[in-house]
Structures are given as structure tokens and as C-alpha cells.
Amino acid sequence: MRVHLKIWRQKNARTEGAFAEYDLDNVSHEMSFLEMLDVLNEQLISGGQEPVAFDSDCREGICGMCGVMINGEAHGPQRGTATCQLHMRKFSDGAHITVEPWRSRSFPVNKDLSVDRSALDRIIEAGGYITAPTGSAPEANLIPVPKEVSDAAFDAAACIGCGACVAACPNGAANLFTAAKIAHLNLLPQGQPERWSRVVRMVETMEDHFGSCTNYGECQAACPKEISIDYIAYMNRDFVKAQLKNRRLIAQRG
């Protein structure tokens, strides 16, 4: 198949970027989207041109490194799929494909399609740690966890931190990402000792770097792991409870 690519090229965050157009022939339907970009880069290098910079690592939809806007959609047209899992069979022969980096003020462009997502790392860092007693391994059944709780925590932990939720949100909010990271710790017994301080630190760090959530729901639609926006409600609930608990502690100390 043949595709016409319109790709954003930008030297770094301090320079202006522009679209460049390329034609690519002999693209296999079985190629992943990133393999197609690899073929393009081989063609560019052979012609003495600068290859297109983009992020990738595992290419199995696990690491969260990949992620671009494809024809205006985060990760492309297939729901529940990271860019590295998207295959060219989703496009027709002769397709015109526009590829852009994540469009968010919080994600400055490193180069071309690569962006700096370290703002997400700062939210995780703010979460701190969990309390885990040391010593010999405890009996597996000593800490009972209800199945519905473990299932909910596991679903939240599926977040790969790719940033698609931020890129898709009209407000550039990171509430779905933050809520998922909070939930998979706060739901489990091991996360309870730091639960209330964790949610406050992570939400406040999020608010320093990202926009506000107004429940558009685009984050849920763009998420390659299809994480529910219900977790945002859980996060908001815990944040309100944490504020009330902190006021009581201050009052008691006063």
C-alpha cells in the first residue's frame, strides 16, 4: 500500500515547527505504525535527510513511551490501542495521514514527535511510598483483599502513563492519569497508612502542572487501556475526605 504522510517537524521546544510531507510506497498492511515510521526514517537517512524523532521502547503497549496524534486522535483510530500496537491495516491504500506530537502546554516538544512528559513523573514522585513491614515473607492470606477491590486496583494499575489523556483533553488535564495512580495504591491495604497524605500531595502537584477537569470524557476515550473516568470521582472523594481529616488533625493539635 501507499500512504501520504504529513508529519510535524520541530528542532526543539524553543524553535517553531512546521509540517513536512512524505510519500511512502510498499507499506505492508502487517506493519505497526511505528514500523512504518522506521521505514520512513530509513528512506530519509538514505537520502541524506534528518530522520523523524519519535518515542518508543517496548513496542508492546506496556511502557507508555510511544504516543502521537494520528489524524487528530490520540494513538490513532483504534480504541484501546497504543500507537505501537496500531497496524497499517487500519488505513486504506493511498491514505493521507497527519502525525503530530502530543499537543499540551505541559508536554514541551523535545524534537519532532518526541515530547517531555516529566510532569507526569513529578506527580508519581509526589505520591511517595507505601508502608511495607520488613522481615520474613508473610503468609499470603494474612492480608485479605476483597476481589472487587483487587480488581479495581488492578484496572487502575493498567495505566502506562503515556499521556494520551492529557493530549486528548481540551483543558490539558491529567486527572485520569493521577486518579489511576492514586487508586491502585489507595485501594489496597498496603497503601492505607499514607492514603490521605498521598492524595493531597499528588493532586496538588497535578494542579501545578496541568489544567482542570471539566468532565469532557475525552481522556477515557483516548486511553489505550480504557481506564474509566470513575477513578476521577474516587480521587475527588478521597481528596475531599483528606482535607477534612487534615483540618481535624490541625484542630486537635491546636
Backbone torsion region of residue 208, taken as left when φ is above 0, otherwise alpha when ψ lies between -120 and 50, otherwise beta: alpha
Among 200, 210, 209, 207, smallest CA distance to 239 is for 200
Q: What is the average per-residue pLDDT within 103-129? A: 94
Burial 171-183 (b: 16+ CB within 10 A, else e): bbbbbbbbbbbbb
CB atoms within 10 A of CB 126: 18
Among 114, 99, 127, smallest CA distance to 33 is for 99
Q: Which ranges in the chain are annotated with CATH 1.10.1060.10?
A: 118-253
Q: How far apart are CA 252 and CA 144, in angstroms?
A: 33
Residue 23 φ then ψ, to 5°: -110, 135
The CATH code of the domain at 3-110 is 3.10.20.30
Which residues make Cβ contacts (< 8 Å) with residue 119, sequence separation at least 6? 106, 107, 174, 209, 210
Q: What share of the chain has pLDDT > 70, as a percent?
A: 94
Residue 159 φ then ψ, to 5°: -55, 130
Q: Which ranges in the chain are annotated with CATH 3.10.20.30?
A: 3-110
- pLDDT, tens only, 6-53: 999 999 989 999 999 999 999 999 999 999 999 999 999 999 999 999
Of residues 222 and 192, more confidence is placed in: 222
Is the confidence at residue 58, as pLDDT, over 80? yes
The helix/strand/coil state of 128 is: coil
Model confidence, pTM: 0.91
pLDDT at 170: 95
118-253 carries CATH number 1.10.1060.10 = yes
Q: What is the average per-residue pLDDT within 84-109? A: 96
Is the confidence at residue 135, as pLDDT, over 90? no
pLDDT at 25: 94
Is the confidence at residue 140, as pLDDT, over 70? no
Region of poorest pLDDT, from 26-40, 117-131, 170-184: 117-131
Backbone torsion region of residue 79, taken as left when φ is above 0, otherwise alpha when ψ lies between -120 and 50, otherwise beta: beta
pLDDT at 144: 85
pLDDT at 143: 78
- pLDDT, tens only, 200-224: 999 999 999 999 999 999 999 999 9
Q: Which amino acid is at 126?
A: A
CB atoms within 10 A of CB 29: 11
Is the confidence at residue 251, as pLDDT, over 60? no
